[in-house]
Amino acid sequence: MQPLYVRVHARDNVAIIVNPEGLPAGTSFADGLTLTEFIPQAHKVALVEIGADEPVVRYGEVIGLARRTIAQGSWVREELLSLPSAPALDQLPLATAVPDSLPPLEGITFDGYPNPDGTVGTRNILGITTTVQCVAPTVDYAVKRIKQELLPRYPNVDDAVAITHTYGCGVAIQAPGAAVPIRTIRNLALNPNLGESPLIVSLGCEKLQPAKLFPTSPGLPVLQNEDPFIVRLQDQHGFQDMIAEILRFAEKRLEQLDRRRRVPCPASQLSVGLQCGGSDAFSGVTANPAVGHAADLLVRAGATVMFSEVTEVRDAVHLLTPRAINEAVAQALIREMAWYDEYLERGFADRSANPTPGNKRGGLANIVEKALGSVAKAGTTALMGVAGPGERVTTKGLVFAATPASDFICGTLQLAAGMNMHVFTTGEGTPYGLAMAPVIKVSSRTALAERWPDLIDVNAGRIATGDASIQQVGQELFDLILAVASGRKKTWAETWQLHNAPALFNPGPVT
């Protein structure tokens, strides 16, 4: 393999090394650039001499200031950069560069399960919602019995899932922050892939009573049934009765779900969540741009596309507020950024705490570089809406669903937002998966796809070597989303039944 580097933007004064084993000192590129030291794959090389306190530029944006002079051809490492200030939220352009609508894609369909509320599932799953962590082991035991004894009799039901969590009691249930986990649990139960047929298991004495979880207040999503299925364990006579009662209600739900059949549905009924984890310096030039192209195709087909992870958007927010469809949407995005700034400050932390050791090993110097690569997943269309953590998204097109960057919390909140398909990009690799929605894994590097051929669904690393274009991989991903949503293909995470447990975001006090 010839020495290769990737320079993203004409203004960039750094580029990343493509060669899998890195390149030694003395390596010369076709343009005459010569390395002065060994540089690992995905790490940055200085294309010109960068003076002390001068900006280091990648993606056409400043990712740091040089702490000392950096010689041309040398390794631009984390310790050589000072973190620049985040964009000032009160000085951002609002809806000043709204993209023109792209030509619609007509007639795109997938085979899904329509729900009474107009949403569509890509899977047909029995969900058992819990109101408190106390009942979790009992529900887990019941789900094992359901899978062994009941599911084989209902071939049209894909799975049974326990929606367990650590919330529900020992918390300040009336505190403002409590709204986030409560609405998250509520909206998880109403995810399109659960067919609007939730079964609730309560202990009986917890603070999060079923009536609080599913109130009848106007404007809130509530159970379709006037008498929702609720099992209170403290009303039962011993453990065996608890299990029998859960199985009795589960069978009634399974009978309902088993009557459902896939039918052709417009692609506008897809709600696709986008996320990255174990990111590296290739993520922003291969996997995430390819996902961004697929996102544009989905938006053109009328679908909802959600991107998230506040701390991985914060340093690129100035690129997004101009794309908002109107000033109200731009202000909503700023509101979520400001709320999270304050949340981190209360915990004596800031956005610099985000990058992991793996991110840095993969060539990401700081959160600014990570964020600029992360927002590539959002494609090029107008930002149509913003949702707070745990809120249900009903807007079509590109939406920012505010979540922490934690993989598990982000996935959980996107499920609560109504996600029925998940796309997850990774550079360092993770076997992450979700029980309630299919997860398509996209690798940023060919080396990862080759090392994990039975975990990675799409290899975007081909873009870095010129073996495929962003558009080709994006189209491949779009086609795979439709096939997986239709049940014609399974992802590797589904094949191995890799399911990370739900992880709630609870910014409220624990008592």
Q: What is the pLDDT of residue 227?
A: 52
Phi and psi at residue 238, to the nearest 5° = 90, 170
Q: Which range of residues forms the domain containing residue 276?
A: 272-495
In 258-336, beta strands by DSSP E? 263-266, 271-276, 304-307
In a domain, 507, yes or no: no
In a domain, 426, yes or no: yes
Q: What is the pLDDT of residue 25?
A: 98
Q: What is the pLDDT of residue 470?
A: 98
Q: What is the pLDDT of residue 217?
A: 57
Query: How far, in Å, CA of 432 to CA of 425, rounded?
Result: 11
Query: How far, in Å, CA of 55 to CA of 76, rounded?
Result: 12
Q: What's the pTM?
A: 0.96
Domain CATH for 23: 2.30.130.110
Query: How far, in Å, CA of 374 to CA of 287, rounded?
Result: 10
In a domain, 52, yes or no: yes
In a domain, 504, yes or no: no
CA torsion sign for 421, 456, 17, 66 is positive
In a domain, 328, yes or no: yes
In a domain, 402, yes or no: yes
The verdict on 299 and 443 lying in the same domain is yes
The verdict on 276 and 396 lying in the same domain is yes
Q: What is the pLDDT of residue 222?
A: 52
In a domain, 99, yes or no: no
- Per-residue burial over 157-181, b if 16 or more Cβ lie within 10 Å, else e, is bbbbbbbbbbbbbebebeeebbbbb
The verdict on 465 and 401 lying in the same domain is yes
Q: Which one, of 101, 332, 340, 139, lies nearest residue 249 by Cα? A: 139
The verdict on 169 and 237 lying in the same domain is yes
Q: What is the pLDDT of residue 215?
A: 82
The verdict on 232 and 301 lying in the same domain is no
The verdict on 165 and 246 lying in the same domain is yes
Query: How far, in Å, CA of 380 to CA of 108, rounded?
Result: 20
The verdict on 285 and 158 lying in the same domain is no
Identify any residues that bridge with 230 across adjacent strands, giving them in sequence order. Answer: 200
The verdict on 399 and 287 lying in the same domain is yes
The verdict on 211 and 332 lying in the same domain is no
The verdict on 125 and 148 lying in the same domain is yes
CA torsion sign for 79, 81, 86, 88 is positive
The verdict on 396 and 307 lying in the same domain is yes
Q: What is the pLDDT of residue 1?
A: 83
The verdict on 368 and 458 lying in the same domain is yes
Domain final position from 202, 236, 263: 263
**Residue appearing with tokens 């992870």:** 309
Whether residue 370 contacts residue 355, with contact meaning beta carbons closer than 8 Å, is answered with yes
In a domain, 503, yes or no: no
Domain final position from 263, 286, 320: 263
Task: Going from the first residue of the chain to its last (511 residues), give the mean pLDDT of each consecutive group of 10, the final group possibly shorter.
Answer: 95 97 97 97 98 98 97 97 96 97 97 95 97 97 98 97 96 95 96 89 96 73 59 96 97 95 98 96 97 98 98 97 98 98 94 92 96 97 98 97 96 98 97 97 97 98 96 98 98 96 95 91
Domain final position from 236, 263, 290: 263
- Count of domains forming the chain: 3
Q: What is the pLDDT of residue 286?
A: 98
